[in-house]
Amino acid sequence: MNSADFNAYKARYRAAIQIVVAETENGRLDEAGLLAYAHPNSLINWLFWQRLRVAMSHIEKSAPHENILDFGCGSGVMLPFLAQCGKHVTAYDTDLLPLEKVQAHIPLAANVQVFDANQTPISSLMPKSFDLINALDVLEHVDNLQQTLSQLMNLLKPNGQLVVSGPTENILYQIGRKLAGPEYSGAYHECGIAEIKTELRKISRVEHIATLYQPIPLFEIFAARK
């Protein structure tokens, strides 16, 4: 995705978020990270979108894909892009309200199917069926990391990849959270990206994609392959 297309994608999504946030009770959408994509602080907003741009660039290199899983799809910020990169996209989350809210302004593509994780556990998805699993800023929320990672890797086809991003949770990141506002406390995080990477290295081959940004690393993005 070139710069012009990315900026148009970002502008469309930001506009939808601003409407959704205005019509939703305070705090209801915090865990989906919705506010970050329309944050009034230009630096914070740029950083959150840059994570997506780096992940998009990596995913495009191996596109097109047959089947994609957006694990923890949240508000669906990646879904329009993933729908262009794959024949079929599965959107999967425990809380679908943010997606439903945004969907009223940015309808889902015809090749996107939504699953409620409360009704459809990971174990019920077909093993070895996905070329790509997108898991951006979600794995730090799960309460059984080892089991979840094992289940996700089991869903990948041979040579399939799990693309992961997450916060470093270092002291500078913690300061950034406080500056961003109370809704970014991170109190609902179960672990950090370092622990996620350590666990994935036990069961997969981990490929570094990017660190945003040295010398102040706030987010890390990598891929795990079977």
Question: What digits encode the pLDDT tens for the residues 191-223?
Answer: 889 999 999 999 999 999 999 988 888 899 999
Q: What does the pLDDT average to over 146-150?
A: 96
Check which CATH number belongs to the domain holding 180 and give it.
Answer: 3.40.50.150
Amino acid 41: pLDDT: 80
Query: What is the pLDDT at residue 182?
Result: 52
pLDDT in tens, 151-176: 999 999 999 999 999 988 654 555 45
Which residues have C-beta within 8 Å of that of residue 169, sequence separation ≥ 6? 140, 186, 189, 192, 193, 194
| 101 close to 73: Cβ distance less than 8 angstroms | no
Starting at the earlier edge strand, list the strands of the sheet with 156-167.
112-116, 86-93, 65-71, 130-136, 156-167, 219-225, 205-212
Domain extent, residue 68, equals 3-225
Contact 55, 122 (CB under 8 A): no
SS3 104: coil
Tens digits of residue pLDDT in 83-136: 999 999 999 999 999 999 999 999 999 999 999 999 999 999 999 999 999 999
Residue of 84, 81, 59, 74 whose CA lies nearest to 223:
59
Asked whether the beta carbons of 137 and 54 are under 8 A apart, the reply is: no
pTM of the full structure: 0.90
Q: Considering its fold, how many domains does the chain have in total?
A: 1
Two tokens, residue 169: 């949770």
| pLDDT tens digits along 48-57 | 899 999 999 9
Q: Which of 26-40, 115-129, 140-154 has the lowest mean pLDDT?
A: 26-40
Q: Rounded CA gap, 191 and 168, in Å? A: 10
